Structure 1
Amino acid sequence: MKIYNLWRTLSNRWLYLAGTLVIAGAFGTALYLQYVLHQEPCPLCMIQRFIFIAMFVLFAIATLHNPKRRGTKVYGALIALLALSGVSAASRHIWLQHLPKDQVPACGPGLEYMLGNFPMAEVWQELMHGSGECAAKGWTFLGLGIPEWSLLLYVLLGVWAVMITIRKPI
């Protein structure tokens, strides 16, 4: 009951700040994995990072803006759509990691090469398909890999944004 009362009494600004901080922590972890533990991100990881950054920006703007009812609905819808996009990318990544070795797609050209030589629509399509490097399993925590943790965060953050939108404060 105390948690429910706390939920109802907190302003949306604090709730949006919580989402911002969760994403900041996740992004800090990603940077630690990349630069300290040398876990290079694959193309699908980069897409997921982009989606997290977009969600971070929306949560941060909502924190500063402290919108009223209509604005809360707009932020909630945008964050939920981004979360669904993240669920899609993370699900594809998990699927690639669980393919049998003989069905893993071949590694394609690097991201820098594709950005310099391919039209953006083709780059996006190649990134979403993933490559052999996306099938490699790296760091795990509590038995879950990076894409599983990303999927969990996308779901939780999307639900969080929707809950902020539909809640009825005191």
Structure 2
Amino acid sequence: MSDRVYNALFLCTGNSARSILAEAILQSEGQGRFRAYSAGSNPAGKVHPYSLDLLKIMGHPIEGLRSKNWDEFSGAEAPRLDFVFTVCDNAAGETCPVWPGQPMTAHWGIADPAAVTGSEAEKRAAFAEAYRMMFNRISLFLALPLESIDQMSLQNRLREIGAEKAEV
């Protein structure tokens, strides 16, 4: 078993909901094998309160979570990235910075729960659904034998995970 710690970055436009959920999930579920980050192309400047509420309920630490620009991860001082995942369709279509480390990339699009209108219950249900889908995708990702799988197979599997309906 390798002692290597992998760095993963989750990208979204606003970095207030989906990418924040993914960062918190991978950081805790990765059990020290991963260092998770999130960022946005046009950050909202604050984490959506429903994201924080849900993460607390699900037992994930929320200390240090903040909405930040993806430029923080493209400079000389940025961590060397192994994986970059876009979790919204807007970020997937944008021209991204050059990431240190030539990471593997995949698109894991999930509907934006922060864009849902309706009652508070409907909005919170949208956040719960985004969390469920992201948790399931991250669980599939964590089950991959990263140390022994070849690059091409791994890249294909990352894309397949993004296409999963996240049923469990």
Higher relative contact order (CA 8 A, sep 6+): 1
| Bigger proportion of residues as helix | 1
With the length of structure 1 as denominator, give the TM-score of the two structures.
0.27
With the length of structure 2 as denominator, give the TM-score of the two structures.
0.28
| Bigger proportion of residues as strand | 2
